Structures are given as structure tokens and as C-alpha cells.
Amino acid sequence: MSSGTQASSSDLAFITEVWDHVCLFLPQRSLKNLRLVCPRLNEIALPRLYQSLRLDAVDDSVARFIKIAKSPKLRGLVRELTIDTRVSEGFKYHSYNSYPTPVAFFNALPLLRCFTKVTALHLRFNEYCGKNDDDEIEETYEFRCQVLNTICHCVAGLWTLERQHEIDQIMEGYIHFDDDDKLDYGDQDLEFTTNHPIQLRELTIANLADYNDPVLHASEAWNKVTSLPSLVDLKLFVATEQNRASPENSVYYQEKYEFFDAIHQKWLSPCLSDNLKVLSLYFHDYWGWLPRMDLRRVGEDLPFPQLKVLALGNYVFTHEWQIDWFANVGKKNGSGGLEELYLDDCPILFKAEQIGPFDPANPGYPDYRIVVNGEWNTEIHEYPVRWHQALTHWMGSMKGLRVFRMGHGSWWGSSLGDTRETIKMHEADPDIDERLLSYRLSNNVHRYFASPPAVGEGGFGGDLEEEWASGRYLHGTGLSDTRARRMQYIEYNCGIGPSPWLETTRRYHNTDGFEPEEGTRAKDDAAYSAMMAAIKARREGIDFE
């Protein structure tokens, strides 16, 4: 084909499947150019170009979202949708600034119902959450309810203009608009209706507030979404209210205790947990002990029967029953148990001083009502569970395990340099906005757990650019598994601030790992080596018994 001559469809010898595979590895700019070559390549490149779509709470993103939603051809190509409530790159949250409520975003949000082919929905809120009476909080519980309730009505196939007005009326007085702004759904294609739910397979939420919203959880749409048989992949990164002036007072915010006390009914009810194959559950602070989350309430003998992949962030181990519980997960998934387990900054609590008396109905756990309202009467508790006990038990009982990783993930966007450089190299776009890219990569620790660790881990001596060019980091940077990050232990002291959680990794700076008593580290290391050897042998089909 001579230079300057447009290719015809007959010139393209590759079959469609081959071109489709090629498009998997092309950056956005190349896909756009490929569309211009000929009609056939336009049809091949178009689905890849519109496979993923974002709705940000900024005007240009809203306009693009509306345009695509109103195109039957283009909206039918979207499979992955990201919704982000950030109003602008320059606005500083949690700083008493005048908040520009994203009216255009709210007006466009119901068009989500038009994307009936979407299988993955990613939602991101701001990390600061709290009550409506706190002027520092822009995205209050009511703001988040408005967003979630509208989304659920769209996904459930229950959205109508009348129902949207009902949602708006419930939130009236809680979400404030400027005099010239108002909710107006004139851009909605009211003739587009569907009684069928969108068949989501994956739902991820970053900075979900640790608040049991009575309006949301009473919604028919909410209950329908959390009962979707198609929904098999759930990833939650839960935020909590913060007291920046006195961080030690955050322990008195009651919402987080109520949230985890009811999470088995609200977010992990049997109609959802029985179908899940992938679950990622992260919290901004440590959880499991305080706030207490009794995993046995999800199921004790047969929890998450279909689950294959489990990732937990900041979960605290204290009791032997927790070790047994993990061994019972996923017994009906076809592999006889969990296939992949990721423990991201999940330490064992070996000593705690907290306000007492402790909960007599749950030995070893504080009673949060006494912590919040009681007098200063502390108790000291010690916990005998050690990592070598857990790992030895799991090695013998978790016969389906093929991947086991424990360490420190990319919390708050840290350790994401490899992903950022990989994307820059892949896109080959000199005008790429690095600040925007860094923002979008952050707060995704609950999604990146399975990605490889940062290039620099483990004394890497290779070529950095070669690693980035390989594409291994295109979808995130995962857990750092250096010895100091594995098999962590932690201490709790309610009399110390700004945080009562005393992380031994930071306090003692011991690259060989912390041990609560002499001899524990050697036992832990031996148990870890034995477990990893057993998993490797299992992957290679070797009978390790």
C-alpha cells in the first residue's frame, strides 16, 4: 500500500479476533488514530475506545458522559464505568472552603441507567466523611446517600423521574445549592426505560462512609442491587470520620462501631455473600478488634461458600477462632477453599490497654459503649495468638490456596511510582496530566492488592524502564512483602496519641521483623517458609504431603 493511500478493508488480512487482541495493547491515542484508517478498523477500535468511561463531578466530564449516554451505539460499548464525586483538582476538602455543590453531576447521574451493558462499576467519594452539622465535611452522609440511592435505582432498573423527585425530597435541606442552581433533569431521556437491572459483576467503592444509612438500607433499589446474582466481585475501602485537631478523640465517634456491628446484615448479607467470588474489605483505620467485626456472623461453618479471593486491609487478629474461620471460607467454590488470600497491614494484637470493663459476652473485646461513654478505668489484656500458629494451621487446612501474600499495600497512593511511569510509557502522551493521574491512582489500595510489589522491593537490580515497558504495573502496584512488612504485631494503648495503635514496624525499625517475645520471630519465619513451599508445590502439581 503506497504512502498517502487509505487502507481498504480488503488490505487487512488479519481476522477480527487478531485485531481485537492487538487493540488490547494500544494506548488511547493509537486507538483514536486506528479508527481513521478505514471503516473496518473503526468498528474494531471503537469498542476498545469506549470500553471504559468516567463521570467526574466537573463540567467537561459531565458533558461527555451525557453525550455518550444519549448515543445508543456508544453507550452500548461501555463495560466499565467510574464515578468520582471530586468537584475539581484545585478545591481543598475539609478546610471550611465554600463548597460548589456539583449540580450538573447530580443532574447527569440518572443517565447511568442507559449503560445497560456495564459489568464493572467503580465509585469514589472524598476521604472525609461525617455529619451534616460539621461545616468541615462537604460530602456528608446525606450527600453520599443521594449519590448511592440514585445509582442503585439506575442499576436496579427502578429509576423513574417520580422516584428521583422522591429521593431529592428526602435529601432536601441536607444538600445545599446556590440560588442560581437547582436539580433539573431536563437532559434525561425520559423515553428510555427498562425494567431489567444492569447485570453488574463487579462493584468497588472507595471511601464508603462507615455509617449505616437508614434511608439507603430501606430502599427497594438498594436491596435489589445487593441481591443481584451476577454480582460476584465486591471491593470496599471504608472511610471514617476524623478529628484532625485531636485525632485521639476519633475513638468516640460511634458510627464506625455501629457500621461494623451490622456489616453482615447491610453489606455482606447472605443474598450477596453466598454468591461472592472476590471480596476486598479495607478500612482507613485498624478494625476487627475495635471496632469489633465478628466474621462468624457472616457464617461460621460455611462462610462465603463460593469465595475464591479474599483481601483484607488493616484487619486485626486477636483470637484463635479467627484462624479457624479463614480455613472454612470458600468450601463450595470448586477448589475446597480459598484460592488467594491477601493480608494488607493485618497485624496480630499482642497487648492492649483500653477502658474497661471489657465485653463479658465477647471475651477479649472492649465494649465500645463503655469506651465512648464510660469512666477512665483501663484494663490491660494480652493475646497469645502468634503468626506461626496461624500459618501452620492454614498450611494444613487451606488445601485450595494457590496465592498467599501478606505485607503493605499502596495506601494513600504511596508506592505507585511504577504504575504511574508504566502508564506514561504506555500512553506515550507528552501532554498527560501527572497530578490528575496520581490522584486517580490513589485510594485504590483495595483494588491493587494482587498487583506485583514495587520494582525496588527485594533489592531489585534490573532495568527500571524494562520493567515499566513490560506492562506488569499497568493496573497498580501491590503489597510490599519485605520481612518487616510480613507477620506484623501491634500494640494498643488508649492513653497514647495521636493514635492508640502502636505499630511495631515504625517504632522499632527492625528490618528483620518484630517479635513480642524471644524466639517468636524464628518460629514465624519457619512457618512462613513452610507454608510458601507448600503453596508453590501445590501450584506445580507436586504432592507436598
pLDDT by residue (tens digit) across 37-64? 777 777 777 778 899 999 999 999 999 9
Instruction: Please give the Cα distance from 346 to 408 (Å, whole number).
Output: 9
- Chain length of the chain: 545
What's the distance, Cα to Cα, between the start and end of the chain in Å? 62
Helix (H) or strand (E) holding 522: helix 520-539
Percent of the chain with pLDDT over 90: 70
- The 10s digit of each residue's pLDDT in 175-233 is 887 767 789 888 787 777 788 999 999 999 999 999 999 999 999 999 999 999 999 99
- CB burial of 174-203 (b: ≥16 within 10 Å; e: otherwise) equals ebeeeeeeebebeebeeeeeeeebbebbbb
CA dihedral over 431, 435, 438, 439, signed as positive or negative: negative
Confidence tier at 23 by pLDDT (50, 70, 90): low
pLDDT for res 96: 79
DSSP designation for 480:
B
Pinpoint the alpha helices (H) of 365-446: 368-373, 387-397, 417-427, 434-441
Q: Who's near 263: CB < 8 A, 6+ residues apart?
A: 293
What count of other Cβ atoms lies within 10 Å of the Cβ of residue 521? 21
* Residue 437 phi, psi dihedral angles, 5° rounding: -60, -45
What would the grid cell of residue 88 be?
475539581
- The 10s digit of each residue's pLDDT in 314-344 is 999 999 999 999 999 999 999 999 999 999 9
Determine contact, residues 33/41, Cβ cutoff 8 Å.
no
- The 10s digit of each residue's pLDDT in 338-365 is 999 999 999 999 999 999 999 999 999 9
- Residue 97: HSE in the Cβ half-sphere, 13 Å Cα cutoff: 12
- Which of 77-81, 94-98, 534-538 is predicted least confidently? 94-98
**pTM value?**
0.93
Instruction: Please give the Cα distance from 193 to 348 (Å, whole number).
Output: 51
What count of other Cβ atoms lies within 10 Å of the Cβ of residue 545? 7
- Which of 26-30, 211-215, 257-261 is predicted least confidently? 26-30
Instruction: Please give the Cα distance from 415 to 438 (Å, whole number).
Output: 11
Query: Who wins on pLDDT, 16 or 441?
Result: 441
